[in-house]
Amino acid sequence: MSKRVRPGYYRQEVNKTTWEVPDRYRDLRQVGTGAYGTVCSAVDSRTSTKVAIKKLYRPFQTELFAKRAYRELRLLKHMKHENVIGLLDVFTADLSLDRFHDFYLVMPYMGTDLGKLMKLQRLSEEKIQYLVYQMLKGLKVKNSLKTHNRESDFNCSVDEINILDFGLARQADSEMTGYVVTRWYRAPEVILSWMHYTQTVDIWSVGCIMAEMLQGKPLFKGSDHLDQLTEIMKITGTPTQEFISKLESDDAKSYIKSLPKVEKKDLQKVFSTANPQAVCVLECMLLLDPECRVTAAEALSLPYFSEFRETEEETEAQPYDHSLDNTDLPLDQWKRHTFTEILSFKPVLPESKETSL
């Protein structure tokens, strides 16, 4: 006999998965699936807005899964910033801790991604400035959060608040969570696992997205990993000896040394019809060496963004309490902490801000 549905909730099968959600969320439709969960779009009847609801896949099947689920919830609760997707709601249909098996995260639905937007129209100079400025503000928050946390394995929790989650990116790969940046936007150090990632790994992606806005087509359109690298080096030139010596992989070193030497292209000539200040931004972002790329905070101070700058708005994240993040707890304790976080969630009522997109 199937268990009764919690009052105020209803049960629906979505692609062979049972969803139990509050009555306010209607018209559930699966929009993505990955290793850790499934995402449905829905209409919130209270606000008449479209939302994305994520159901984690068996969040308490192991201590590792439970810790990951707890951290994801804590991070999303912590992020309250207009440029980073925030948590609108979190709920469970399970009435007590001993019956607690599943929970759901509700976030804004990012329906129009930049890819669709660019197919519809060529973006104006002002719109490009605005969109890149917004992405950089969001990245600055994300990077400050990671700095406060100072964890080497922090990236596994941050995929939820990546550039792609700002609703400004293309069709995502199906691997991992379904929110991973496609090859055309990946930083070279990610493509070949050259070296330890730094915070500028996302700056490369922003540079690729900005270049596409200016050109109306992707800048680096590789057909596979190595072709992607070849396309990148046609613009950046082949790496210097100084950069090659920083690589951690001997295979990567020997591969790069075997490549024919290519000179760096002058981006002012590649983007000859673009605003020179916009090209200056790209020059600072699209550098092979992650240590030479601008940070989000540095990029925000470039002249191209001067008319949008409101420095008091370029906030950093409040320090994140990660006292439990490095601990190993038994499964039932992760469960208890997660249940408490769900019960203590206070939704922030969204202001009705219409964007000019």
- Flag whether 48 is in a domain: yes
Concatenating the DSSP letter of every residue in 326-353 gives T----HHHHHHHHHHHHHT--PPPPP--
- Across 98-102, 128-132, 246-250, which has the greatest mean pLDDT? 98-102
User: For residue 326, what pLDDT is reported?
Assistant: 60
User: For residue 194, what pLDDT is reported?
Assistant: 74
Residues of the binding site for ATP: 55
Residues of the binding site: 55
What CATH number is attached to the domain comprising 74? 3.30.200.20
pLDDT 10s digits, 55-67: 988 899 898 889 8
User: For residue 310, what pLDDT is reported?
Assistant: 61
Give the sign of the dihedral formed by CA 298, CA 301, CA 304, CA 307: positive
User: For residue 121, what pLDDT is reported?
Assistant: 61
Same domain, 81 and 144: no
Same domain, 194 and 227: yes
pLDDT 10s digits, 195-206: 677 778 889 999
Q: Which long-range contacts (CB under 8 A, 24 or more apart) does 264-273 make?
A: 264/235, 264/236, 264/237, 265/234, 265/235, 265/236, 265/237, 267/235, 270/235, 271/211, 271/214, 271/215
Helix or strand holding residue 41 (H, E)? strand 37-44
* Domains contained in the chain, number: 2
- Flag whether 352 is in a domain: no
- Flag whether 324 is in a domain: no
Lowest mean pLDDT among 43-52, 280-289, 313-322: 313-322
Same domain, 78 and 224: no
Same domain, 149 and 286: yes
User: For residue 344, what pLDDT is reported?
Assistant: 87
Q: What is the mean pLDDT of residues 2-14?
A: 84
Same domain, 148 and 47: no
Same domain, 223 and 264: yes
Question: Residue 158 sits in which domain range?
Answer: 114-313
What tokens does 331 get?
């499964």
Same domain, 50 and 184: no
What CATH number is attached to the domain comprising 145? 1.10.510.10
